[in-house]
Amino acid sequence: MIIGIDVGGTHTDAVLLDSLRIVKKIKVPTDSEDLFNTVLNGFTQLLERADPKDIQRVVLSTTLTTNAIVQKSMTPVGMVVSSGPGIDPMAYKTGEHYYCVTGSINHRGREKAPVNEMEIEDTAKKMKKAGIEYVGVVSKFCVRNPSHEILIKRILNRHFKKVFLGHHVSGNLNFPRRIATTHLNASVFSLHKSFFEAVKDSLEEKGLTVPIQILKADGGTMTLESSMAFPGQTILSGPAASIMGAIPHAPENQDAIVLDIGGTTTDIAFLVNKVPLLEPVGIRRGRYKSLIRSLRTDSEGIGGDSLVQVVDGELKIGPHREGPAMAFGGPSPTPTDALVVLGWMKEGDSENAQKGIHSIASKLGMSDTDTADLIFNRCCSIILKKTFEMVDRLNSKPVYTVHEFLEGYKISPRKILLLGGPAPYFAKRIQEMYHIDTDVVPEWSVANAIGAALARTTCEVSLNADTEQGIVTAHEEDFAEPISKSFSQEDLLDTAYTLLKEKAVFSGADANDLDETEVIEMQSFNIVRNFSPKGKIFRAKVQLKPGLIKGFERVLQ
């Protein structure tokens, strides 16, 4: 059996699955001030009648790191940045404890200026005096040669709890995004580590010793242990869970919209022939442009518990949430209260819901029923308006899926898939208003938890080979080997796939489920000097594709 838990802004959904069916599903309120006990409550209810020894897999999707960024509650960290000529790293300053140091590597990975070790020692003392415990280190061309980062880390290790290196972030070149991503990793590490270790220890007390897997922003999973090197990858794991839960029910050879309507937000995503779209460079949250691989999603501040109010005589819904609906003890009217007044939702206190909607109706000069209908229609309109604005933005740029770049492709949705608690109420009205085939996915209220539970481990490896220098490297994997002048593209791919499979198993993949690999980037350059060929440069990127694990097809049916 396997467990999937998705921690949302309003509710935490949890499922216990075997290979044939959903054994148990629950929803518990999310306490944003105490996510640990929220998750523990979910586990406790799921395991009431289950033998922990039967659990083979646990996957957790959480808003923890996302909330830390949004609420600006990240731990203050230090950054040591080396760039050399051509760019001023102060343009990408991440905070108060940000230090630019001497030393540089060029684009071929050759040292142009050495590290000043005394300067690093002095910088370490300043950060230590300021109470800094975690530090990020970034050198501009670290993916071509990480020796400066490694040397700086060796000096800093004597002073700090953990040092994060920029070349571990990604094999892609992008100095500003690498600085931001390394800073994010260092900033959320303490919170990430304490939360998940507390969850792990509590589960062990219950006899559950299976490794915990965490859903990443790209829709894949990784083990708790591997996440410690890159905790930033858990940002946006919630929307990723929604997409993975919708994929099995998407149409073949069509574009589909995925809408996860929660209590606080609605997550919007797209599928092209059952394949999710990808952020080709990396996600952006607030001022942080990162190199964190992610599915392409958008979150809008409107959901079942969004605040409904009248401002200057106009109806306004969201983006704020003041608590649950009045029907469930909340302080202010919400779209959920409108559903109760319309008689569609039978749960909750109908008298409280009526009071809330009446307070809005009296300001608009309308009946309670007409006001409830207006609120619901306005919700549908806002969600669809945001959705088709996203379509326009996507179609103004090249379209990438997690498998390929679709040159000249334009998104043209013919299907909408809805999930989330209020999904059934929205489906019929959206189809009536926009004449697009609209379906509610099976088990809509916990489909995101099912998506998390069944998500496959994903990872990627970037490899560079330089036959003139006689070396092949994957510095983000701490890999380097000598090669001969005859090293070929085929040799590069063989090495890349070997590294990918090793990384996948370390990240939690089943050794028997590693056949979904593919090349996502391949480049070859001749090195010519004085009109004479001197060698070749090869670059390749391979991935274990996002998808669902095998053996649970009947659950989805």
- Residue 346: pLDDT over 70: yes
Structure tokens at 28: 């518990």
Name the least confident of 186-195, 302-311, 345-354.
Answer: 186-195
User: What's residue 182's pLDDT?
Assistant: 93
- Residue 268: pLDDT over 80: yes
Burial class (CB in 10 A: 0-12, 13-18, 19+), 490: exposed
User: What's residue 39's pLDDT?
Assistant: 82
Chain segment 226-258, per-residue pLDDT in tens: 888 888 888 888 888 989 999 989 998 899 999
CATH number assigned to the domain covering 78-188:
3.40.50
Residue 198 parent element (H or E)? helix 175-205
Distance CA 168, CA 292 (A): 12
* Same fold? 78-188, 250-446: no
User: What's residue 129's pLDDT?
Assistant: 93
Chain segment 278-298, per-residue pLDDT in tens: 887 787 766 678 888 888 888
Q: Which fold has domain 2-71+191-240?
A: Nucleotidyltransferase; domain 5 (3.30.420)
- Candidates 3.30.420.40, 3.90.470.20, 3.30.1330.10, 3.40.50.2300; correct CATH number of 250-446? 3.30.420.40
Burial 505-535 (b: 16+ CB within 10 A, else e): eebbbeeeebebbeebeeeeeeeeeeeeeeb
Helix (H, G, I), strand (E, B) or coil at 414: strand
Which among 396, 406, 169 is positioned nearest to 283, based on CA atoms?
A: 169
Distance CA 108, CA 88 (A): 20
Q: Which fold has domain 459-553?
A: Endonuclease I-creI (3.10.28)
Query: Chain-wide mean pLDDT for the chain?
Result: 87
Q: In what order do the strands lie in the sheet with 212-215?
A: 22-29, 11-17, 2-7, 57-61, 212-215, 221-223
pLDDT class of 183 with cuts at 50, 70, 90:
very high
Which among 199, 264, 210, 273 is positioned nearest to 234, based on CA atoms?
A: 199
Helix (H, G, I), strand (E, B) or coil at 395: helix
Domain boundaries, the chain: 2-71+191-240, 78-188, 250-446, 459-553
DSSP string across 120-134: HHHHHHHHHHTT--E
Chain segment 250-266, per-residue pLDDT in tens: 998 899 999 999 888 88
Cβ-proximal residues to 204 (8 Å cutoff; 6+ apart), any chain: none
Chain segment 504-547, per-residue pLDDT in tens: 888 888 777 777 888 878 888 888 777 787 888 899 988 888 88
User: What's residue 195's pLDDT?
Assistant: 81
